[in-house]
Structure 1
């Protein structure tokens, strides 16, 4: 309370501490505490447009990630990044992200507990699937002209 008897404004740190004490730690709740996000939330039309924009951008990132999963590169990482974007605004995405993190962690723990030969076999199997998908894709779509002739692919 101030000297005039009015409540003093709460700082962002105090607000975060209060929410942490209440057990609110989700990404969506932490984003909602930010000043710019509260400013948007107070303006319904802008807030709705922002949420639609977050949904579109997040869905595009997830879509690119899903398409690139079978290809060499960060397919799953891209999907998870898209879920992070969506989870900043949507509860369902936050739950899906937690589900994904939990299962990826379980898979990683299981793989690291296996003997070296099992991990090598998993790696070779993954490489074979990726190579097979690459060959099938190139066979269906055609080998680009910029690929040198010495690369062992169908022409």
Structure 2
């Protein structure tokens, strides 16, 4: 196995693992958790083919969850508030030095997570709208 392949596998494992973990957390918090779990599994399955069998069942659940996440204004508002809270927490973690693990690297990851929530929320909303227009 070449060094380049090993590095690629490590990067895929870390990125995919982080997506799955954040997605799992968002399964209980407002946000597109199943979509992130799916994204993580797709990344992991690209390097570890044994995980491919989990992608389709999770994809079906993720698409169903995406539709449900924008099914009501209350759910949309909850997801948007979660995204805003993550962005605000990221700014606080980047600027307030007395907090545990305070740094811009921690803050940036929180801000990025909030932005991902917004991107997935917009994607889900557009997908549902396009599907409704087809009916």
TM-score scaled to structure 2, two decimals?
0.42
Select the structure that is richer in helix.
2
TM-score scaled to structure 1, two decimals?
0.38
Compare relative contact order (CA 8 Å, sep 6+) and give the higher one, 1 or 2: 2
The structure number with the bigger radius of gyration is 1
